[in-house]
Amino acid sequence: MNMDDYRRVADRMEPSEQCRIEVLNMKNTKITHKTNRKLVPLMIAAALAVCGGGTIIAADQLGAFDKLSSVQENTYKDERYIPKWDENNYAEIAKYIDTLETAAEPTESTSGTASAEPNVIVDTESVYCDGRTVMIGISGSYVHGNRNRINGLGFTSRFIINGKTYTETDAWDEDCGFYRMESSTVQDEDSYDNFSGVVTIMLADENIITEPTTIELELFNIRRGRGGTTSASYFPDVVKLSIPVTPQPELRNVCNLRIEEDGFAAAIYEISPAGIIVGSQFPDSYYRRFIDEHGCEITQCDVGNVWYDENGEPLEGLYYTSTPDYGDGNGDRMIIYSYTDTSAMTIKWFDITTDEVLHEYTFTLTE
C-alpha cells in the first residue's frame, strides 16, 4: 500500500466532456455555476502514475550548467514576499552561472544506460563539489524518441554517497540527510532525442563529503512530461552512473553567524557558489493553534521573512528545509540559491497579512 494507489485513482479522474464544451463557449464574462451537474461515467486510464520531484524545463539548447539559469527563471515563487525573478535579468543569472562554472570541474566521462526499450543513455559532463553540494552536469539521449511535442525528460534521482542512500522523493523528510535535491533537464531545440541538465544534492552537516569518493547516481521513474498524468510516458529502467568526485572545501565559507533578539533568531551558516544557507525563527506567540472542522489540530502562522543584500535588494530564497534538531535555536533553514558577494545581509520578519515589519537585523559579512 503506497501513494501509487492514490495516483492510480487520481489518474482515472477526468472532467466531463460537457465541461470542455462549456469552457470553450465561455465569453469574457462570469459563467453561471451549476450545482446539480449530472454525473457522467468517468474515463478510466490505464497509464501508470509515478511521482517524482524532477523539474522539467523546455529551453534552447544550452550547456549543462547553463540549465541552472532556466531553473532560476522558472522556479515558482510567492510573489507576496519575494519579487518575481526577472526573467530577462541575464546579467544576474550569468553571474551565478559563471560562478558555478568556474568552480565546476570536468569529470571523467561516465555513461549509464537504461537497457530496456526505449533506452536512455546519460553521460556526465562536469561536476561541482564543495563537499556539501554536488552538482552533476549531464547530457544524454533516448532512442526511439517520440517526435511529437514534449515537455522534456523528467526523472527521480537517488544518490549513494559513502554508503548512504538519498532519494529525491524524501526531500521533505526531516531525517532524509540532505537539504536539497533536484534535477532539471532541457530538450535540445534541434533534436528531440537529446537533452541535458543538472542534478543537484546539498547534503546535511553530518553527511558532508570530506575525502575523494565515487558517487553512485541513479535516475529512475524516467518519463516524458511531468507529474502523474496519463499523458506522461515512462521508461521502464534505471540509469546508473558512477561519478568520481574530489571535494573542494575551500569553496565553502562557513560563517556560523547567529543572533537572537526578542524571540526572533537568525543565522547565516554558510556561503558558497551553490547558495547561502541561512536560518530563522520567530517567537512562538505568532503561531495560532486551533481545531478545524475535522477535529484536527492545525498550526498556522502569518509570519514570513525575507533576506536582503547590502543594497536592500531581496535575495532569492527558493528552497526550504527543516532541521529542528540542529540544537542552536535556529531550527528552520533556508537555502538561497543566488550567489552573492554582498558585504551585509539583512533579515526582515513580516506579518504576511499586513506587511508590517515585525523585526529586522543586519549581519555584516567580513572576509
Partner 1 sequence: MTREELAECYDRYSGAVYRTAFACCRNRADAEDIMQETFLRRLTSDRTFPEEELEKAWLLRVAANLSADHLRRMRRRSLLPLEEAELVCELPQESTVFQAVMALPPDYRLAVHLFYYEGYSIAEIAGIMRKTNAAAAAVLSRARKRLKRMLGEEMEL
Contacts to partner 1 from residues 195-234, by CB under 8 A:
226-230
Between 23 and 94, name the residue whose CB sits nearer to partner 1: 23
Nearest to 346 by CA among 330, 359, 361, 367: 361
One-letter amino acid identity for 78? D
Least separation in angstroms between residue 328's CB and partner 1 is 17
Among 12, 240, 258, 348, binds partner 1 (CB under 8 A): 12
The yes or no reply on residue 148 touching partner 1 (CB under 8 A) is no
Measured CA distances, 106 to 69, 146, 162, 235 (Å): 19, 31, 21, 28
Nearest to 161 by CA among 65, 243, 238: 243
Between 80 and 111, name the residue whose CB sits nearer to partner 1: 80
The yes or no reply on residue 254 touching partner 1 (CB under 8 A) is no
The yes or no reply on residue 137 touching partner 1 (CB under 8 A) is no
Between 30 and 147, name the residue whose CB sits nearer to partner 1: 30
**Residue-by-residue DSSP string for 214-233:** EEEEEEEEEEESSSS-TT-E
8-state DSSP, 314: B
> How far is 176 from 174, CA to CA, in rounded Å?
6
Segment contacting partner 1 (CB under 8 A): 109-117, 122-130, 137-145, 169-177?
Answer: 169-177
Least separation in angstroms between residue 345's CB and partner 1 is 18
Total residues binding partner 1 (CB under 8 A): 80
Strand-pair partners of 167: 158
The yes or no reply on residue 240 touching partner 1 (CB under 8 A) is no
Residues 59-88 that bind partner 1 (CB under 8 A): 59, 73-78, 80-81, 87
CA 249, chain centre distance (Å): 23
The yes or no reply on residue 130 touching partner 1 (CB under 8 A) is no
Among 97, 276, 334, 347, binds partner 1 (CB under 8 A): 334
Q: Are 30 and 200 in contact (CB under 8 A)?
A: no
Residues 27-56 that bind partner 1 (CB under 8 A): 28, 30-31, 33-37, 39, 42, 44, 49, 51-56
Among 60, 86, 105, 173, binds partner 1 (CB under 8 A): 173
Cell representation of residue 148:
511529437
| Dihedral sign from CA coordinates of 100, 90, 123, 242 | positive
Residues 258-297 that bind partner 1 (CB under 8 A): 292-294, 296
Segment contacting partner 1 (CB under 8 A): 9-17, 108-116, 139-147, 189-197?
Answer: 9-17
> How far is 227 from 235, CA to CA, in rounded Å?
14
Helix (H) or strand (E) holding 167: strand 164-167
Among 112, 137, 154, 197, binds partner 1 (CB under 8 A): 154
Least separation in angstroms between residue 361's CB and partner 1 is 18
> 30 Cβ partners below 8 Å, 6+ apart?
none
> How far is 235 from 183, CA to CA, in rounded Å?
17
The yes or no reply on residue 20 touching partner 1 (CB under 8 A) is yes
> How far is 24 from 176, CA to CA, in rounded Å?
45
Least separation in angstroms between residue 6's CB and partner 1 is 5
> How far is 322 from 248, CA to CA, in rounded Å?
26
Residues 340-359 that bind partner 1 (CB under 8 A): 352
Segment contacting partner 1 (CB under 8 A): 13-21, 100-108, 209-217, 267-275?
Answer: 13-21
Between 50 and 161, name the residue whose CB sits nearer to partner 1: 50
